[in-house]
Amino acid sequence: MAISLMFEVSMLVSSVCGLLVATWLLWRAQKQGELQALAGFAIMMAIWCFGHVALFQGYQQMGIHIILANPLMPTFFLHFAIRFVYAGTVKERWLKRLAQKLPWFYVVSIAVVLQSWWVGAGAASQTLDTRSFFIFTDAGAFNLAYTILMGMLAHGVLLFGWYRHTGNKKRSILAMFGVGAWGLLLATSFVFPSFGISWFPYPMLLLPTYLLLLVYAVVRYQILSVNAFANRALLWLAMMLVILCLISVISVVSGRVGLQALANVPSWQLWLYSLVTLVVSALIYQPLNRLISRLIYPGAVLNEGVLETWSTQLKDAHDWAELIEVGERLLSSQIRQSITIKVENQHKETHQESSALALIVNRNEQGWHSVLVGWNDASPGMRLTAEVFGSLFSTSCGLLERSLALAVAERKRLDEQHLVELGSLSAAVAHELRNPLNIISMAAYDAPAETRQHIQTQLKRADRLVSDMLVYSGGLALQKSKVPLHALVASIVAQSNLADIKCQLDIDETIELTADYQRVQQVFVNLIDNAVAFLRNQADGKLAIQARVSAEAVVIQVHNNGPKIDEALTGEVLFQPFVTKRAGGSGLGLAIVRRILDAHQGRILHRSDAGWPVTFELSFPLASSTSRDETVSGTTPVIGN
C-alpha cells in the first residue's frame, strides 16, 4: 500500500501545484491573454489530478466525472498556443480565424465531456497495488481520441510558431516541446489500465514536475524573476538529492562501524529528518545571515534597494562634477559622515593619510578602481559600505567616460556633416555669383575709363574670391605625378610681378615631389602672391625659397622679410579661412594651402625662428608606393598662365 500512498500524495501535490501556478500566472498575466489561458490549463490539470485523489478516497462517481473532463485541458492549451504564436510578428490569417473560433472549441469540448458523462465513458477498477484507478470504457474511446487530437493540434500550432518566430519566442517553443515530450512520457501510463495492461503507473508519480517545467519554459524569457526562483529551487533539489545519497551511505556503513542504533533507524526516517532540517535551514538562512552581518559589520545596511538607488542616481549624472556631487551625497547620507570623493586620471601608488574620510577613484591601464583614504579608524560596517560604494562608483566612472566619448564623437560627426553642407552651399553660391559679375563687367563697358578701371579692379577681386571659395569648398581629387620642384618654382617666380623684390632660389634640381602638379603649383602661387603683396611697398623686399630632403620628407621653406605676423594670428588661427591682414585679400589663400598639404599627408607651419621675419615651412612626404585610390600620371603638365 506504500506505493499507492505515494501515488495519492503525488496527485495531491500536482493539484496543489496547479492551483498555485494558476494563481501566480493570473497575478502576473495582467492583460496577457496567453498567460491567462495557461493559467486555465493549470487549473484544469489541478482539477484532473484531484479526481484521482477522489477515487482513492472512495468518491468514485465524482472522481470519474472529474477525470472525464480531461478534453478541457488540451483545449486550454490550444488557446494558449494560438495566443502565444499569434502575438508578435506572426499575423497569419488562418491563425486569426482559429483564434476567432476558440469559443467553439470550448463548446465542443464541453459537449464531449457531457456526452462522456451521459454514456458512462469511464469507470473505476482495482489495479495492481492500488485501491482504485480510472479506466476508459468502450464508450470512452471518443473522449480519449478527441483529447489526443486537441493536444496534437495545439502542438502543431506551436511547431508552426517555432518555424516562424525567432529569438526568445523560438527558444520558448523549443523548450515547450521538450517538456511536452516529458509530459507524454508521464501520461502514457495513465491509459495502460484501460487497455488491460496490469502495470503500475510509476511515471505519474513525477507528474508535478510536468506543470512546473511547462510554465518555466513559457515564462523564463518573459518574466526574468522566475529564473532566480528556478535557480534556488534547483539548488535545494540538488541538496536534497545529496542528502538522500548520504543517508543511503550512512545506512550501509553505520552497522559495520559499530553504530548499530543508527543502522536500525529506517532510511526513510533519516531522510525525513534530514529533509526537515534542510527546510528549516532554508527558512532561517536569510534572517541569520542578516543578523550575523550586523554583528560583524555593525552600521552597514546594504540591500538590493540601496544598491539600486545608488546605481540609478549615479547613472543619471551627465558630467564629472555632477557624478562627484551625487556620489558624495549618497555615501555621506549612508554612513552619516562627510565624505570627499576625488577622481584622478592617473594611478598613484601611495596616498597621503588624512583625518578626513575620502574615496579616491583612479584610472589606469586596467580600468577604474577605488582606494579608501583616512578610513583606518572607521568601523568595519562603514568600511564595507565604502568599499561596495567605491566599486559601484568606479563602474559609473567607466560608464560616464564612455558616454562622454560617444557624445564628443557625435558632436564631431555633426560638425563634419555641417562643414560638408557648408562647403556645398559655398560652392553653389560661388557658381551663382559668376553670372552677375559677368553682367556687371559687360554693363561697365560704356562707362568712363576711370570708372571702368575701378569696376574691373573690384571685379577681379570678386572673381579671385569666388575662385578661392570654389577651391576651398570643392573636393580634392589628386592626380599624382613626378614634379620637378626647381622647375616648377622657377616658372612661377618668372610669371609673378615681383617688381623690385629680390628673389633667391636654393633648390637642388634633382629634388622631385610625388604630388598633384596643379595643386602644388597653386600652393606656391598663393604663398608667393601673399609675400609679394606685403613686400611690394617695402624698399628692400626679399623673397627666398629653400628646399632639402630629409629622411622622410621634402622640406621647403618660403622666407620673406616683410612685416612680422601678429602673435594673435600665429598657430592654427593663421590657416583658418577668412583670416587675413592683407588689403584686398580673400582670407582663403593659406587655408587652401593647408588643405592641399593635408590632402598630400603633408604639413605647413609658420616659423619665426628661421632668421627671417616670416617663414612658412612645407613638408611633402616621400612616396614609397602609390595608393590604389590615386591616379598617377607619367608626364608633367605644361605650365599655363
- Report in angstroms the alpha-carbon separations of 3 from 49, 273, 336, 377: 17, 21, 63, 65
Contact 584, 570 (CB under 8 A): no
Give 640's pLDDT tier (boundaries 50, 70, 90).
very low
Q: Quick one: pLDDT at residue 443?
A: 77
Q: Quick one: pLDDT at residue 294?
A: 63
pLDDT greater than 70 at residue 128: no
Give 130's pLDDT tier (boundaries 50, 70, 90).
low
Q: Quick one: pLDDT at residue 27?
A: 78
- The domain 2-223 is placed in CATH, from the list 1.10.3470, 1.20.5, 1.10.10, 1.20.1070, at 1.20.1070
The pLDDT of 614-631, averaged and rounded, is: 70
Higher-confidence position of 266 and 55: 55
Q: Quick one: pLDDT at residue 585?
A: 56
DSSP 8-state assignment for residue 301: -
Higher-confidence position of 529 and 269: 529
| Residue 74 burial by Cβ neighbours in a 10 Å radius (0-12, 13-18, 19+) | buried
Average pLDDT, the chain: 77
Higher-confidence position of 637 and 13: 13
Give 107's pLDDT tier (boundaries 50, 70, 90).
very high
Task: Tell me the percentage of the chain whose pLDDT exceeds 70.
Answer: 75
Q: Where are the beta strands (DSSP E) in 463-600?
A: 479-484, 502-506, 512-516, 542-549, 553-560
Q: Quick one: pLDDT at residue 476?
A: 66
Contact 548, 598 (CB under 8 A): no
Give 236's pLDDT tier (boundaries 50, 70, 90).
low
The identity of residue 639, as a single letter, is I
Q: Quick one: pLDDT at residue 92?
A: 72
| Window from 222-226, 380-384, 434-438, 585-589 with minimum mean pLDDT | 222-226
pLDDT in tens, 522-552: 889 888 888 888 888 778 888 999 999 988 8
The pLDDT of 358-386, averaged and rounded, is: 81
Higher-confidence position of 218 and 72: 72
Q: Quick one: pLDDT at residue 348?
A: 47
Is the pTM here over 0.75, yes or no?
no
Q: Quick one: pLDDT at residue 615?
A: 92
DSSP 8-state assignment for residue 168: H
Helices of type H across 101-166? 102-119, 141-164
Q: Quick one: pLDDT at residue 636?
A: 34
Q: Quick one: pLDDT at residue 486?
A: 92
Q: Going by C-beta distance under 8 Å and a sequence separation of 6 or more, which residues neighbour residue 249?
A: none
The pLDDT of 347-368, averaged and rounded, is: 68
Higher-confidence position of 332 and 184: 332
CA dist 3 and 1 (Å) reads 5
Determine the CATH number of domain 476-633.
Answer: 3.30.565.10
The pLDDT of 36-60, averaged and rounded, is: 84
The identity of residue 222, as a single letter, is Q
Please list the residues that pair with 363 across neighbouring strands.
368
Give 296's pLDDT tier (boundaries 50, 70, 90).
low
CA dist 479 and 517 (Å) reads 8
Q: Quick one: pLDDT at residue 627?
A: 45
CA dist 454 and 447 (Å) reads 10
Do 2-223 and 476-633 have matching folds?
Answer: no
Contact 186, 204 (CB under 8 A): yes
pLDDT in tens, 457-470: 777 767 766 766 66
Sheet containing 358-364, strands listed edge to edge, beginning at the edge strand earlier in sequence? 340-343, 358-364, 367-373
Give 52's pLDDT tier (boundaries 50, 70, 90).
confident
Task: Tell me the percentage of the chain whose pLDDT exceeds 90.
Answer: 6
Could you state, in order of their start, the residue ranges of all structural domains in the chain?
Answer: 2-223, 240-296, 304-404, 476-633
| Window from 144-153, 302-311, 418-427 with minimum mean pLDDT | 418-427
Q: What is the CA radius of gyration of the chain?
A: 45
